[in-house]
Structure 1
Amino acid sequence: MHLMQDKVEESPESSYSSKLPAPSILKDPKNRQHVSRPPEVVNARSDIPIIRMEQEILEAINENSTVIIRGETGCGKTTKVPQVFLYEVGIGSSVSPLGSGILGVTQPHRIAVYATASRVAYELGVSVGEEVGYQVRYDKKIGKSCSINFMTDGILLRELQVS
């Protein structure tokens, strides 16, 4: 598992900041989202390699405007980083004092979008379309309380062109 960090210069007049709140705020229990996971998910969680890098990943995200996480297939990049490291600490939640918004996760193919959205929703104990949604060409299921949106690369490119 490797973290590649790239500090990108931002102009002083830029209002965009990808910095997360200070680690003390991230660890504050009142900011965390309550998650009711199925027992088999809780038991298997410690076997996922990326879980052991939680602190390092949060620090990298906090200190850098761009962080690329590279790891073996099945290490938890797609399913664990959005839900465990970001959603649970309140990033992307409309009720969090840390800031609202939606965590966007891209997949190259629509079947991967459906599969990962379903898996993460199951692991969080919610239905797809609630806190976890998806968007592919001609199909989307995103509710008002959506915090994590899985989408194809093409959808992300379209979103970036519109904004």
Structure 2
Amino acid sequence: MTFADQIGEPLITSERFRFSTRSLLICVAVIAVLLAVATYAVRAVNSVRLVVMDAYRVWGTGELLVDFMNANAQRWPNDWNELESFYEDTTRAYTVIENFNDIRDHIDIDFNFDPASITFDNAEDDPPFRAVWLRNGADSRYVGAGPNEIVYTHLRRLADTTSKPKSTDGEP
């Protein structure tokens, strides 16, 4: 005697829980679509997170380079080691730079760049050079906070302050 016979009714009735091939395929398709949407959403969120992190990295690198130049008679660093030494000695917290290796792993710097070679003859606000960029080739940056823009703005301000004649009569 089976358990179903003992309790007097069948455990599962075939009419109630009958799955057709069509119903099974619909369930599998719905699950596949849900998995695809979830995978896409996770990748999209991760992609946005990486873009934001890259934008902060280049921003912080631009700030670091300007501080290095200010501390070194407006000279550009010669290599990663010199920039790292400055970074380790500074007390400033840079935008989202957790450690120096984070910069080195994600950003390239043209250490042959010469800030003194930049002229400001044109009225362009965009930097006429590319001395700092992301290794992944992306152009993730906040408006006005790209590393080249930060350096260019700094150099332009220096040029503006050094090119203005000093007033001798007490007027600006």
- TM class by shorter chain equals under 0.3
1 or 2 for the larger relative contact order (CA 8 Å, sep ≥6)?
2
TM-score (norm 2): 0.22
Higher strand share: 1
Pair member with larger Rg: 2
